[in-house]
Structures are given as C-alpha cells and as structure tokens.
Structure 1
Amino acid sequence: MLTQPYMDAFWAFSLSPFNAAIPQFARCDAGSDASAAHSNACRNMPGDRDWPSNDAWGELNSTVGGRLMRGQPLAQVCHGATLDAGACAALQDTYNFPELYVTDPVNIMSPYWLNNSCSPYAPYASADGSGSSSASCALGNLAQYAIRVTGVDDVVAGVNFARKHNIRLTIKNTGHDVQGRSAGAGSLGLWMHNLKDISFIDYSSAKYYGKAARIGAGIEVGEAYQAAHKSGLIITGGNCPSVGVAGGWFPGGGHGPLASMYGLGADTTLEFEVVTADGAVITATPDNEHSDLYWALSGGGPGNFGVVLSITAKAWPDMSVAGAVFTFVNTNDETYWKAIRAWMKALLELNQIPGLSTASGFSSQGFTMNFATLPGGTQEMLNKALAPYMAQLKSLDIMMVANTTQVHSSFFDHYSAFVESPPINITMAARMIPASLVQDDSKLDTLVSTMRTLTDEQGVFALISNNVSLSRAGVAAESNSVLPPWRDTLFLANFGQYVSNGKPWRDLSADQTRVNNWQTLLRDQTPGGGSYANEATFNDATWKEDYFGANYDRLLSIKRSYDPEGLFWANTAVGSDANWVQQPDGRLCRPK
C-alpha cells in the first residue's frame, strides 16, 4: 500500500500545469536533430523546431477537459529541488510492486525500460534528505505528456494530435510491459487506466449465443474476475491481478488459469471497440467489414493496430474450483533435478485432464507449484491427479515443505486464495515447450541440463501448463491470429533474473543481453516453436518467427491497411521495422 506522503508528492508533480516549463528530456544522448525531424524523416522530439508549441499543448489540454498531464519519473521525490526524504523512503519500499505503476500515467513495470534515468536508490547528500541529490533525474524512456483518458473523445483527440504534429504516440494502462511497448521517449501517452466500465450481457451473433462481458480498457484481471463473480459468471483472464485485460492481455493471446477450460483469451473474443490511426471509431467483429482487424487483434499483439477502448468476450456460469499448492527445497542437487525432470514428465498426463491448468516455478534453491486450477473438480480428483508425482517425490526422499489442496465454491474465491501478485524487478524471457520435446528422453535431458545451468547463473523459471489445443479451445484453425505453436505447447517456460535495487544501468543492460541469450538457447532446442511476446525479450533477432510465426505476413498486410504511416509503433510489433527505427536517444526515424 502506498503511503500518503509519497502519494501527495507524486500527484503534486503529475498534475502540475501542462504549460509549465517543459522538463529536460532524456537520459541517453538526447540531442535533437531538428533538420531531420523537420523533414519528417523522424518523429519530432522536445527541442525540435516542429515540436508542438505551448499554445498547441494548451489547446489539446482544453480539448480533453484539462486532463493533459506532464510525464514525471516516480523517483523525482528522491532528487534535486523536489527531494523529499520521507516520500523517497516510502517509494523505495514499494518500487518493486505492481500497484505503484498501475496508478501512474507514464511509468512502467520494467527496470530495464525505466533504465535508471531517475532512480530512487541513487545516493543523495544525507540520510535525512538535507542537501541536494548527487544523481540526475530525467524522463528517459517515459512519455513527455499523457492524457488521462476518460472516454473515446480523449483518445480521438490524442491520436489526431500525434498524427498532426508528427510525434510519437504511446498507450499505457497498468504498465505490465517487459517489452517497453507502453513507454516512449518524447511521446504523447494515452493513459487508459480510468476506463473502468464492465458489464455482462446476453450476446447473439452468427457464431455465438450466450453470456458475454464488455470490458473497458482500464479493467485489470482481478477487477474483471471480481465483477464476473458478482454476476454469477466467470471469464478468462491472466494470472497476475493487475494485468490490463482488454488492451494488452486479449490482443497478446492471453494465457491464464482458465485457459485449459476455455482456451486462450483470444479464443474467447467477440468484438473490439477501436480508435484507428485516422481517428475513426469502429467496432471489429468476425462478421463485419472489419473482420480482418478483429482477426489481427485476437492474438496479433497489443498497441499496434489501433487503440482498444473495450472488448467483448465470452462469459460462462460460475462454478466450484479445486486448487492445490506444494513446495519442496533442494537438499541434494541430483535428486532435486530428477524431481524437476519428473515434474515435466508428469505434465504430459496432467495436461490431458480436461480443464486442469498448473503454474509452477523453481530456482536452484527450491520448487513450488504455485497453483493448480481444476474447474468443477473435487479435492479427491485433484489429489488423485497429483498422486503419481507425489509418489515419485517420496521415492527420491524429497520432503514437502507445504502441500495443500482446497475446493472453493467459486472461481474468484479460488483465485483469491491461490494467486498472488509477483514483484516486478525481473528481466524476463519466454519459450513454448512442446509435448514432443518432453516425450523424447534425450531432448528432455538436454532441456533440464540447460535449466540447471541457468539457475546456477541465478536464473529463475516459471512453467505455465495449459492445454490450448484447437480441440480443447473449441476454435477452428486460423480463426484468430494466435501464434500457431501455442496449440502444441505442453508448458510455457518463463525465465529470467531478479534485479537488485539500484543496479547500475550497465548491469541492467548486461542482464538483458544475458537473458536474451538464454531465450536463444531454448529456441535452439525447440525449432519451429515460439515465444509468448507479452513475456519475451525485445531484441530477439528472430522475433517475427518466434512471436508471430506463419501469421506475420497477413498481420503485416492488415497493419498497413489500418495504419499505413505507422502512427502506432512498439518494440517487436508487426511492422515495427517497416516505418520507423528507434535511435539511441529514443527518437523514431525512417529506415535508411
């Protein structure tokens, strides 16, 4: 929970007048090339001749009802004339938790993309805050201004302003963003967090008749689950409660604890309400004139084809859910890694149980099955499913630290009991592991050996196992733009390294390179496979194949149709290398 001194200080900065002195822009080499920007070879940046005047910003502020906000680094309270020792200490206590970023208009949950341009851990003159900071504080990758969006007119105004003035546009809801897609140097941000409308309706179309949820772009996973519960329903969503549902999770594909029951999020979409690059407001469904855009948004990546205002997705009657968690520690390397290997083998059988999903994690120190989710299941059913693996652990003389199985009367109660919000101080990558690899003992041995090596290098792993095959999800091939390897995936392996507080930028960059190399190691063991772009690295050299696969060319054609000039731009997004190339200072320029 954020302390009041910190919140008071934060809002004092964030709500400062739009026409106050423009903050100095950047951390890394922010010099402006005004001639290049003026020729439209690059997006305009602060200091350029064609950067919007204060009068222009004032007009935009008036258009959006005074909701234009200056971008501010969270850690400004730890620096310079704005230094406040109490507020800085409170910030340090909360800096690694998602809640801080959810309610912020520009800051995102990635140590790498925050890039220490304004760190709360930088030293200042004395412990009690007297004196001035000895470290710099600048916006770095963060948006220069952001609109606190409250409705469609705000989005249209922001889109039109960015297009007219040739400036970068970014879209942020909660800031869950290891790719750095919702931040951008010198950009105008659309902060979608306050679009909190959610309702439940009887939906009827040529392809679906039943309950559905209309979800505003600001709704978070936990909020969506709770609202559905109050209406006696369940909907698909992610594992982390503060992830944004409509704008990022659904368009990214969307895995979660109900995926083995109903498919990925993109398998459940019915329609999207979108603002396109020309400022038009449209609804995209599988059956209307924008069916191509519907297809692209159902798995083809967030923040790139338009600004999603809301999404309509399938909903189902609530039900009881069986859940489980267990933990064991590493007291002997050889038996411990045999147990890890055995767990992957066990997933082959668990994955065939209708509706069962598991999420587990391990390091060199210990293993936890964070939760198992079995909708409509009983305690006896779940214990029976896990019994063979428990017997293997016993044969290896591995003792449980914790082992719990419970049944809750609703999915929301199950979710609230078993799922926790993780810290965000991690550099992350991902790779989909097909069942065929785990079935091959030699290939599995190689995978386990690789994982062991990486955990010896302080790596951590999370294994998310959902059966989202076409038959299980109940969708036809190519009915959406979900990455095809998802359909053969036994588990998604997320992996990375935790980031210590105050880590220097050079080390953050080295971590990113190291984890990207790890992703390549697993890629080499899964040829023709894929990675989940929402949880993968931004500088994967084969990102088109890994993140979009056979869908890429079709997605690129749709991107060019709806956004020919590339107003929407994000790292590793479809077409991101076609219109613009990001420079070292964050400026977007035309490819040479």
Structure 2
Amino acid sequence: MSKIPKSCKTYPSDPDWPSPQQWQDFNTTLQGALIKTVPEAAQCYPDGTATYSAECGSLTATWGDSSLRIEDPTSIRSALFQGMTCMPPSYAPSFLSANTTKKSCTLGAFPEYVVKVNNTAQIQEAVKFARNHNIRLIIKNTGHDFGAKSVGKGALSIWTHHLKEKSFNWYESRDYTGPAVKFGAGVQVFEAYSFAKRHNVTLIGGEGKTVGHVGGYIQGGGHSPLTSIWGMAADHVLSVELVTSSGALVTADRDTNADLFWAVRGGGGSTYGVVASMVIKAFPQIKVTTMRYNMTTGGNFTKNKFWEAQKAYVDEFEHYADLGYYAYYRIRHVNGEIFHDMTSWVAPNKTEAEFRASIAPLMQKWKALDVPFEPIIEQYDNFADAWEAGFPQEAWTWNMRQASRFFSRSVISHNATRAITFNAIREVFDAGASLIMFNIRNPPGSASIDNAVNPAWRDVLMFAIMFVTWSPSDSAEYVTQLSRNLTYEWNPKWTALTPGGGTYMSESDYIEPNWQQSFYGSKYKRLYELKQKWDPKGVFYAQNAVGSEDWEMEEMLLGHLPSQNSRLCRK
C-alpha cells in the first residue's frame, strides 16, 4: 500500500489558513453555531497574567466538578496532553514550564474554533469545512476522555454535547424484534438510565454518571456493571447515524453500510465518522443487589493482612463473575496506609439473601483476618436505582496518568498463574502506583458476536488499572519519572503475564506499546482497511485510533509523551 507524501494539517500561522471572512461565512452557514475558543480558566488571566478575582476563586473551588466542566465547550480531563496551558493559577503545573503555565493563559492544544452542533446538518458542514481546508478535526462530547482524543492544536472541534434526542421505540429487523431506544450523541449515562427507568427497561451503559452514552464509550466497546450478564454496550447497537469524512450523513446497520456498522461498534471513536445518534437494544427491568464498603490498614489490620484478604477475594473471581457479578473498586495510598473502597459490587438478578449467601465463605475468611469494614448491602427492584446509589459522581481528575491490562480466565482460573498475577499487581502498588480493579466477564457466546470489540474482552475475568498522580508543585524530574515508570517499568510486568492479550482503549496508557494488538487484537487489519476506505484523506485523527500510526506529533511533553500542542503531520 503506497503512502501519501508527508504533509501536515493547516495551522493559523500557515498561508492556507482560512481568512476571517471565511470563518465568518462558515459561521453564517452554521446559523451562528461557531464559537471562538476561550479557555475556561482565561478569566483568571484578564490582563495576560494571573490575577485573583472572585470569579477565578469560584472556578478554582469547583474545578473538580465534572458537571460544571462538561458544560464548557473545550474543557477536558486529559489536560496534561493539552499542555496545561490555561489552568487556574493554583493548579498550573511547575513541572511543565513555570515561566508560562503559571503566569499566562494560552490556547495550547485547545481547538481554535468549536461548532456547538444542534443538528446533523451542522456536523456535515463542519466536516466539509475541515476537510476542504485541511484543518485538524476533533470531536468532543463531555471531555471525559483520558487519551487526549478531544483536543488538538489548531483544530476545529465538533461539540456534540447538545444532541439530546431520546426516544423509545419498537424495533424490528431480521436479527432483533423488541424494545429499543434512540439516543443523540450528547445523551449522558445518567440521562440514559433515567429515561430507561421511565420506560421500565434496562440499558447497558457505563458506571460513570456524566460520561456520554453513545460516543467514545460505545465506540470503544463499553464495559458496564451489567456486562457479566449481557456483554458489552457495543454488542447491542442496532443502528448508527453518522457523518462520514465526505460530509455525507449515512445510516449503518446490518443491511446498510454493514462494514461501517461493524467498525463503529468497538473500533474506536473519532475514526470513521461523527456519530450523531444510535439505536440501542433495551432489556427488561431486573432486580439488583449491591454492596459498598471501605477499609483502611492500621493497628491490628496490617498491610499483610490486607493483601491476604484481597487474595481471598481474587481467588473467587471466576466464581463471582460466572454468577453474573461485577465489581469496581480502588486500592490507594493514603497517609502511609492502604485505603480500599468498593465503589460497588453489583449482583444483577439476585436478591439480598442470595447475594449474602454467595459471599458468605469470603466473609468468613475476612472475619478471621479481622478485616475492619461495615458493608452496605441493598436490594433494588431496578438497575437505575441501584446504579444511582452505588456509583457516586466522578470527580474531574486532571493530574494523573494510567495504564491497564486484561487478565483472562485462563490466567485467573489457575492457582499458579493467579498467584503470580496477584503478586505482580501488589508489586506495582508497592512501587508507588494506585489501583482500580474490576471483576468482570463477558457471558458465554459473546465471542461469536460479529463486531469490532477487542477479542481480549471476551475472555476477561480481571481488568486492572494502575495510575499515578502528582501535585502541580512537583518537579519535572519527579513527574517524568512517575510517567516513565508507568509505561516502561510497571505496565510491562503485567503485559509479560498476558502475552497476546490486551486492554481497554478508553482506560489505557496514552503511549501503550504495541497498541494495535492491545486495543484491537486480531481485528486491527480489517479495521485499518476500512479506515482507508471510509477516510482515505485522514480527516479524522485521534491518539491511538486506527490509522494514527500514519501520523506523528512534532513535539513531546516530559521527553516521551506526544504533545497535542504541536503540529500533526503525516509520517
């Protein structure tokens, strides 16, 4: 396959950049939907330098509020890769450049312009304008992305957050007849679940309250508190409406544009087109029991006892997953001790009595270890209420990096390999990382579903995330070492235990080695071919998306992280 000669996207300093009149005409075409980007924290730099004000103080105090940040056209969680060029002064990082990030506000990798779309025609116009002027195009809904897919220097951004269409339908096709919902790209998980409850159905969706339901979440596969009984969110998409790189609005399902339909369901967002809406299968309402708790080491509950208790739990992962359970929990370093919180252990289709009976052997082991915890166990008559109580709204974290790995049934179900895996996870924690852990499976038969979901999902029993955090005042040397440890020291320990395996593209290392295998597995070759078919000119680009290896950034952050605040050029 011949490669397109090296060329870069067009930037404001280039002679081919659209003139002010062209931007004005474009805004007229969009009926006034074009926004010139002003970073959210610009109010803290009214004269070009950091200045205290009541408004800036309010912004700083609420900077971790995900609901507020999502309402901004450009705010993102992956601020590090944007360059952190306009943060509230107390959060501005010394480790990048004290002379710029703490004293001024610049655009960095925030887009030059944002299209606040309210209809598909505006998406079409935005795609055509970016393509015709060779401008980098990015897509943002909520900004929850950890991998900098919603930012890019000199870009035009399509902001889908206000596409809030919701409808409940009876769907009929050759493969499925039954209830379904149609959601616009801006619908968030809390909105989706509330809508489902009103119609007495259940949807496969994320655990994060403010995450977008049908954008990068489903396009990346989408794991859910209900995955252990019903599989991935992408498995239940019935139809997709999207704008392709030509600017055409198309429908993709099993009979129309079937190859595109296959790719969008698990092949990654910001890759084949701009999704405007999806039709998704709805399930009956079910009863759900959940358990929440936390524990901290100290006194008689030593760190060794903590890890004994954890091992006793992990030893039962196969059993719990096969019961249809899902668990999402964290293990963190807090004031020299280990703090562990079970955000929610979810038992679909189980009564409280059935759940208590199933975990009784583990509770006996924990009692013998004097584990200090007071679980909250509750039964609900529907999933939406269980989820609402069990998953608190996520904070808008911005000072972190992460990496992750799937551990398969073949690894976790055998005593020897499970013990080696457990030790490797503890080793990474003891070295300084914190952990987010999932006990999850895909139900029997899932591997036969014909979509682009990473095959490694189909055999998972443990999904483990390691993460590091830092303070804005930390040195460049310290933050660099943390980041490098994550990618080059700790992640390889887990990868070595899972050869040929993978991880979840949406919660992974920004510079995941061999990402094509890790995120897409055996499906990458076909996905790459479809990328060339549907987007031959590279209108859509995102970090670690299919086809992104044909492009490169001109600059690095901390010496090893591609900076979105630099030119994007073909290799």
TM over 0.5: yes
Contact 2:70 2:142 in 1 (8 A): yes
Aligned equivalent of 2:209, options 241, 245, 248:
241
Q: Write the distance in 2 (CA, Å) between the matches of 1:328 and 1:440.
A: 28
Aligned equivalent of 2:153, options 160, 185, 201:
185
Instruction: Tell me whether 1:319 sits opposite 2:299 in the alignment.
Output: no
Q: Write the distance in 2 (CA, Å) between the matches of 1:452 and 1:318.
A: 39
Deviations 1:444-472 (A, max 9, x none): 3333333223223432211122221442x
Q: For CA contacts below 8 A with separation 6 or more, give which structure has more relative contact order.
A: 2
The 10-residue stretch of structure 1 (386-395 or 504-513) with the greater mean CA deviation from structure 2: 504-513
Question: What is residue 371 of structure 2 aligned with on the other side?
Answer: 398
Other structure's SS at 2:375 match: strand
Identity value in percent: 31
Q: Write the distance in 1 (CA, Å) between the matches of 2:331 and 2:365.
A: 18
Deviations 1:101-152 (A, max 9, x none): 311111211242243211213599xxxxxxx996121111111110001000
Question: What is residue 590 of structure 1 aligned with on the other side?
Answer: 570
Aligned equivalent of 2:164, options 196, 204, 207:
196
1:537 Cα deviation after fit: 1.3
Other structure's SS at 2:435 match: strand
Deviations 1:527-584 (A, max 9, x none): 1111100000121221001011100000011111100011000000011112x22221
Question: What is residue 356 of structure 1 aligned with on the other side?
Answer: 325
Instruction: Tell me whether 1:459 sits opposite 2:433 in the alignment.
Output: yes
Within 5 Å, give how 1:284-295 maps onto structure 2.
284-288=252-256, 290-295=257-262
Other structure's SS at 1:363 match: strand
Question: What is residue 302 of structure 1 aligned with on the other side?
Answer: 269
Aligned equivalent of 1:230, options 198, 206, 218:
198
1:283 Cα deviation after fit: 0.5
Instruction: Tell me whether 1:549 sits opposite 2:521 in the alignment.
Output: yes
Question: What is residue 304 of structure 2 aligned with on the other side?
Answer: 334
Instruction: Tell me whether 1:374 sits opposite 2:374 in the alignment.
Output: no
- The change in CA–CA distance for 1:263 and 1:142 in structure 2 (over 3 A counts) is same
Q: Write the distance in 2 (CA, Å) between the matches of 1:271 and 1:229.
A: 22
Within 5 Å, give how 1:375-454 maps onto structure 2.
375-400=348-373, 402-423=374-395, 424-425=397-398, 426-454=400-428
- The change in CA–CA distance for 1:509 and 1:184 in structure 2 (over 3 A counts) is farther
Q: Write the distance in 2 (CA, Å) between the matches of 1:502 and 1:77.
A: 22
Q: Write the distance in 1 (CA, Å) between the matches of 2:28 and 2:477.
A: 42
Q: Write the distance in 1 (CA, Å) between the matches of 2:130 and 2:89.
A: 34
Other structure's SS at 2:10 match: coil
Instruction: Tell me whether 1:523 sits opposite 2:503 in the alignment.
Output: no
Deviations 1:191-248 (A, max 9, x none): 0000001111000000001001101000111110011111111111001011111111
- The change in CA–CA distance for 1:45 and 1:470 in structure 2 (over 3 A counts) is farther
Instruction: Tell me whether 1:570 sits opposite 2:539 in the alignment.
Output: no
Within 5 Å, give how 1:41-56 maps onto structure 2.
41-56=7-22
1:507 Cα deviation after fit: 5.1
Paired positions, count: 539
- The change in CA–CA distance for 1:557 and 1:393 in structure 2 (over 3 A counts) is same
Within 5 Å, give how 1:507-518 maps onto structure 2.
508-517=479-488, 518=490
Contact 2:234 2:266 in 1 (8 A): yes
Contact 1:197 1:219 in 2 (8 A): yes
Question: What is residue 65 of structure 1 aligned with on the other side?
Answer: 31
Query: One-letter code of the match for 2:369?
Result: L
Query: One-letter code of the match for 1:342?
Result: A
Instruction: Tell me whether 1:250 sits opposite 2:218 in the alignment.
Output: yes
1:481 Cα deviation after fit: 0.8
1:379 Cα deviation after fit: 0.5
1:521 Cα deviation after fit: 2.1
Aligned equivalent of 2:239, options 242, 251, 271:
271
Instruction: Tell me whether 1:169 sits opposite 2:140 in the alignment.
Output: no
Other structure's SS at 2:47 match: helix
Query: One-letter code of the match for 1:310?
Result: S
Deviations 1:296-324 (A, max 9, x none): 01111111110000011100222221111
Aligned equivalent of 2:61, options 85, 89, 93:
93
CA RMSD of the aligned region, Å? Answer: 2.0
Question: What is residue 3 of structure 1 aligned with on the other side?
Answer: none
Give the TM-score, by structure 2 length: 0.90
Contact 2:112 2:154 in 1 (8 A): yes
Query: One-letter code of the match for 1:512?
Result: S
Contact 1:260 1:357 in 2 (8 A): yes
Q: Write the distance in 2 (CA, Å) between the matches of 1:384 and 1:238.
A: 27
- The change in CA–CA distance for 1:260 and 1:134 in structure 2 (over 3 A counts) is closer
Query: One-letter code of the match for 2:70?
Result: V
The 10-residue stretch of structure 1 (344-353 or 456-465) with the greater mean CA deviation from structure 2: 456-465
Q: Write the distance in 1 (CA, Å) between the matches of 2:492 and 2:201.
A: 41
Q: Write the distance in 1 (CA, Å) between the matches of 2:469 and 2:570.
A: 35
1:519 Cα deviation after fit: 2.3
